[in-house]
Chains A and B, each alone.
Chain A
Amino acid sequence: MYSTTGIEASNYVSTYNTAFYFIAGVSLLLLIGLTITMLYFVFRYNRKKNPVATQIEGNTALEITWTVIPVFLALFMFHLGWAGWKPTAKPPKDAMNITVVARMWSFLFIYENGKQSPDLIVPLNTPVKINLVSMDVIHSLFIPDFRIKSDIIPGRQKFMWFLPQLEGKYKIFCAEYCGLQHSYMHSTVDVMTQEKFKKWYAEAAKPVAITGTGPGAAGEAIMRSQGCFACHTPDGTKLIGPSYLNLWGSQQVILRDGKEITITVDPDYIKRSVLEPNADITKGFPANLMQSYRSTITDDDIAKIIEYLKTLNDK
């Protein structure tokens, strides 16, 4: 993560390094210098060596010196930090726009042509502007190798931008505490050459890559990319939400407008559960945790999800 190879994975690495090494360098010098001075005094003016202390009340000239010098050092440190921050506020005009939708506990990157991906795939040497959208609580998109991080605040328009300068795969972490699975909310940036990226980008027909085979594979792939498995399991384990095992067609007790009713899990119910999860709350589970997927899941997707759910019965 913390590359010391001298190759800079993004445009921020060099400004970060300047500020970091200056402040850390001055600090280290001061730390060593002051510690040695201190230890020398302790040794030299030990009671055994110096039984009688010389009383010194103070020295104004000294006080002024050691106020003014740190002020200048501090101002310069501040300046380096500010100079390094300033570019982050101004994305280049020709930047590529990508939207990230963050929710508990996954990222989903949406491209201008509608393509969705749980990983961030970007072309080399092209400025990338990421619009930050959160569906529930505050998250934070953090790419350590790029030395960049930005909080994703629900209800706010925000963006971050960077220039990837080195091919490779880098980690993305969520850096703002967002609940149970916060430490599992991660992803990858894949910086590829322009040509490779173009090819990937053109495969727009299939929004998500299907890995498995069989009737539910498409649905499962959608759910994987949308991050449903952060809260639901296919194997009966209770995580945050109800498990999908034997869910399809079963009877469920739900709370609707504060009243308990029993329903059968049918296509309508699944659709409601995904698009308006807080209308019907499954008994024994918290409301307000699952948020609507209206912006990222289509009716077509829901049909596929149902196909998948059907495969989970009577295993």
Chain B
Amino acid sequence: MSRENNTVEPSYLDYKGKYKGIFSWILSTDHKRIAILYLFSLLAFFATGATLGLLMKLELIAPGKTIMTAQTYNAFFTLHGIIMIFAVVIPGLPAVFGNFLLPIMIGAKDVAFPRLNLLSWYFYVAGVTLVLISQFTGQGPPDTGWTFYAPYSFRTTGNMLPAVFGAFVLGFSSILTGLNFLVTIHRMRAPGMTWLKMPLFPWTLYATGWVQLLATPIIGITLLMIIAERTLHIGFFDPTLGGDPLLYQHLFWTYSHPAVYIMILPAMGAISEIIPTFCHKTIFGYKFIVASSIAIAFVGYFIWGHHMFTSGMSGTALYTFSLLTFLVAIPSAIKVFNWIATMYKGSIDLQTPFYWALGFLFVFMIGGFTGLILGSLATDIHLHNTHFVVSHFHFIVFGGTGFAFFGAMHYWYPKITGKMYDTRWANTGLIIFFAGFITLYGEMIFLGMKGMPRRYYDYDEVFHTGNIFSSLGAIVMYFGLAVIIINLIASLRNGAKAPSDPWGGKTLEWTIPSPPPVENFDEIPVITKGPYNYK
């Protein structure tokens, strides 16, 4: 801590480089500045997507037309899904916190390919821009859902091409980030940091990197095939040309199932950082957590078929996919148990990030358990494409990845900005948010069990009561989120100055000043001990 005030090096925020003003950001190859670029663009897209979600819920508050037409509703859930999946939760933690912290946590000065890193941000923004362009050009917005199922995606008059191409470009951005992280982790760990001395967040980024690298090309080529089929009428998936629509689903989910682990693994990594810090205790079962990350990444590659249980796959395929789906739950179970065991005999400091971690554990379990119910063949036949599925993935995507994202934001906020935030407001926001969240998505479980199909603009009267509750939950959540975001923004101005290690964390990022200097480390540290050493 002694270095804090007499550093010669300016922080990355004050650094004066070649360029001025906004150019010093959008042309910067500093991993920390790129992370901030990602953070702000991502929050903007998240706000867009979340507003669409809220509007959809308002439409669903009563049967029949409430505030929008069916066409608008269909376009909304499509855009909502595309933005939330491809532009928010897939890049989410890796692109923002991974970019900022990965090099620091492994004791490096930057990622392996800084310029490639900046390029991937440009791809990211370009991809989302294309998706947004598709809304306002051509004959109406795309209306296929984020899954672009064939053959509907060839029949619709919606403006598919920019949206599909946008998703393709976003995939490219994701690949470049993954590639960069893999090389960085392989080549740039500080001297003495062996694989098993690496903190868990970089470990999950490593596992994620492989999934990004090896799964994303599959959707890339699939989206290219859709484009070719729509423009050149090459027969791939359209049954009128001899194609098989199920093959499209196979290819789509070959990527999109592993993609859900791209979303959750870094989230699990962030939770694995938060819990030991606030328990002031080394993590329980480090090696098992590492192994389970790799197991999730690996097994997760082979269970895509559980999205197609009612599509008429062969019995053998159903058997295999369902069995493997249950097996992939085991590594997640191991993680949950180890996290809870870490709290045992800890010295728990109840700060906002820790509350988020507790919230994460709770909603992640609900999401995971609803996942198990969907993984079972007999039950999925009834629940597939109902609001039960919608509930499952909001619990686990928003509840899992989203909670971890907000947890990480509150955990690393002092490091990134150099300011402390107001804890009281942060906790208030969290409580409102949590209450809204459970009402909103909890109710959907029962709607789904009753048989309310998803992507329904209008619904039967029997579902009305449940939808009222659910929609009210969305409004409550809206206020909670507003409190949280406003508090964080206000703290940028009013917050107290953050010390270099406000929480008593032991990983490398807490050894350097807040905010970090441009080069991260004056001197590259030499690692001799494990990452969570509280002795």
Contacts A137-B151, A147-B381, A149-B310: A45 and B346 contacting too (C-beta < 8 A)? yes
The answer to whether B288 and A83 have CB atoms under 8 Å apart is no
- Segment at the A interface, from B97-105, B114-122, B275-283: B275-283
B456 at the binding interface (Cβ < 8 Å): yes
B373 at the binding interface (Cβ < 8 Å): yes
Whole-angstrom distance between the alpha carbons of A34 and B145 in the complex? Answer: 36
B144 at the binding interface (Cβ < 8 Å): yes
Option from B285, B312, B315 in Cβ contact (under 8 Å) with A150: B312
Chain A residues near B157: list those with CB within 8 A.
286, 289
Would you give the shortest CB distance from B61 to chain A, in whole angstroms? Answer: 15
The answer to whether A182 and B455 have CB atoms under 8 Å apart is yes
Would you give the shortest CB distance from A256 to chain B, in whole angstroms? Answer: 19
> Which parts of B317-339 form the interface with A (CB within 8 Å)?
318-319, 322-323, 326-327, 329-330, 333-334, 336-338
The answer to whether B376 and A81 have CB atoms under 8 Å apart is yes
The answer to whether A2 and B449 have CB atoms under 8 Å apart is yes
Identify the 5 closest CB pairs spanning chains A and B, nearest first.
A84-B378, A144-B451, A155-B239, A81-B376, A27-B369
A78 at the binding interface (Cβ < 8 Å): yes
Chain A residues near B454: list those with CB within 8 A.
177
A75 at the binding interface (Cβ < 8 Å): yes
B385 at the binding interface (Cβ < 8 Å): yes
Whole-angstrom distance between the alpha carbons of A151 and B533 in the complex? Answer: 54
The answer to whether A85 and B378 have CB atoms under 8 Å apart is yes
The answer to whether B378 and A80 have CB atoms under 8 Å apart is yes
Contacts A1-B450, A56-B284, A63-B288: A149 and B347 contacting too (C-beta < 8 A)? no
Option from B279, B284, B310, B449 in Cβ contact (under 8 Å) with A140: B310
Contacts A41-B340, A75-B326, A153-B311: A147 and B347 contacting too (C-beta < 8 A)? no
The answer to whether A31 and B534 have CB atoms under 8 Å apart is no
The answer to whether A179 and B377 have CB atoms under 8 Å apart is no
Option from B74, B312, B346, B373 in Cβ contact (under 8 Å) with A158: B312
Whole-angstrom distance between the alpha carbons of A147 and B376 in the complex? Answer: 13
The answer to whether B345 and A78 have CB atoms under 8 Å apart is no
The answer to whether B347 and A47 have CB atoms under 8 Å apart is yes
The answer to whether B381 and A78 have CB atoms under 8 Å apart is no
Whole-angstrom distance between the alpha carbons of A12 and B450 in the complex? Answer: 15
> Which parts of A161-178 form the interface with B (CB within 8 Å)?
171, 173-178
A202 at the binding interface (Cβ < 8 Å): no
A209 at the binding interface (Cβ < 8 Å): no
Contact with B along A60-102 (1 / 0, CB 8 A): 0011001100110011011011111110110000000000000
B152 at the binding interface (Cβ < 8 Å): yes
Option from B310, B346, B384 in Cβ contact (under 8 Å) with A53: B346
B498 at the binding interface (Cβ < 8 Å): no
Whole-angstrom distance between the alpha carbons of A177 and B219 in the complex? Answer: 20
Contact with B along A1-31 (1 / 0, CB 8 A): 1100000000010011011100110011011
The answer to whether B451 and A1 have CB atoms under 8 Å apart is yes
Q: Taking CB as reference atom, which chain B residue is nearest A18? A: B378
B113 at the binding interface (Cβ < 8 Å): no
> Which parts of A122-155 form the interface with B (CB within 8 Å)?
136-138, 140, 142, 144-145, 147-151, 153-155
Whole-angstrom distance between the alpha carbons of A142 and B327 in the complex? Answer: 29
The answer to whether A37 and B376 have CB atoms under 8 Å apart is no
The answer to whether A149 and B384 have CB atoms under 8 Å apart is yes
Whole-angstrom distance between the alpha carbons of A151 and B379 in the complex? Answer: 16
Would you give the shortest CB distance from B163 to chain A, in whole angstroms? Answer: 15
Interface residues of A (CB under 8 A from B): 1-2, 12, 15-16, 18-20, 23-24, 27-28, 30-31, 34-35, 37-38, 41-42, 45-47, 50-59, 62-63, 66-67, 70-71, 74-75, 77-78, 80-86, 88-89, 136-138, 140, 142, 144-145, 147-151, 153-156, 158, 171, 173-184, 186, 286, 288-289
The answer to whether A55 and B282 have CB atoms under 8 Å apart is yes
Whole-angstrom distance between the alpha carbons of A38 and B338 in the complex? Answer: 11
Q: Taking CB as reference atom, which chain A residue is nearest B73? A: A183
Would you give the shortest CB distance from B403 to chain A, in whole angstroms? Answer: 14
Q: Taking CB as reference atom, which chain B residue is nearest A2? A: B450
Whole-angstrom distance between the alpha carbons of A67 and B151 in the complex? Answer: 42
Q: Taking CB as reference atom, which chain A residue is nearest B370? A: A27
Whole-angstrom distance between the alpha carbons of A28 and B372 in the complex? Answer: 12
Q: Taking CB as reference atom, which chain A residue is nearest B327? A: A74
Chain B, interface size: which category?
35 or more
B361 at the binding interface (Cβ < 8 Å): yes
Chain A residues near B369: list those with CB within 8 A.
23-24, 27-28, 30-31
Q: Taking CB as reference atom, which chain A residue is nearest B345? A: A54
The answer to whether B326 and A180 have CB atoms under 8 Å apart is no
B458 at the binding interface (Cβ < 8 Å): yes
The answer to whether A78 and B156 have CB atoms under 8 Å apart is no
The answer to whether B455 and A177 have CB atoms under 8 Å apart is yes
CB<8 Å pairs between A and B, sample of 21: A15-B378, A16-B382, A20-B373, A23-B372, A31-B365, A41-B340, A41-B348, A50-B346, A53-B280, A55-B282, A58-B285, A67-B334, A77-B326, A82-B322, A82-B378, A147-B381, A149-B382, A151-B312, A156-B244, A175-B310, A175-B453
Whole-angstrom distance between the alpha carbons of A288 and B143 in the complex? Answer: 16
Whole-angstrom distance between the alpha carbons of A1 and B382 in the complex? Answer: 12
Whole-angstrom distance between the alpha carbons of A53 and B74 in the complex? Answer: 53
Chain B residues near A62: list those with CB within 8 A.
337, 341
B438 at the binding interface (Cβ < 8 Å): no
Whole-angstrom distance between the alpha carbons of A153 and B246 in the complex? Answer: 8
The answer to whether A177 and B311 have CB atoms under 8 Å apart is no
Contacts A59-B285, A85-B377, A154-B245: A41 and B344 contacting too (C-beta < 8 A)? yes
The answer to whether A46 and B350 have CB atoms under 8 Å apart is yes
B302 at the binding interface (Cβ < 8 Å): no
The answer to whether B70 and A181 have CB atoms under 8 Å apart is yes
The answer to whether B323 and A78 have CB atoms under 8 Å apart is yes
The answer to whether A19 and B376 have CB atoms under 8 Å apart is yes
The answer to whether B344 and A56 have CB atoms under 8 Å apart is yes
Chain A residues near B384: list those with CB within 8 A.
149, 175
B362 at the binding interface (Cβ < 8 Å): yes
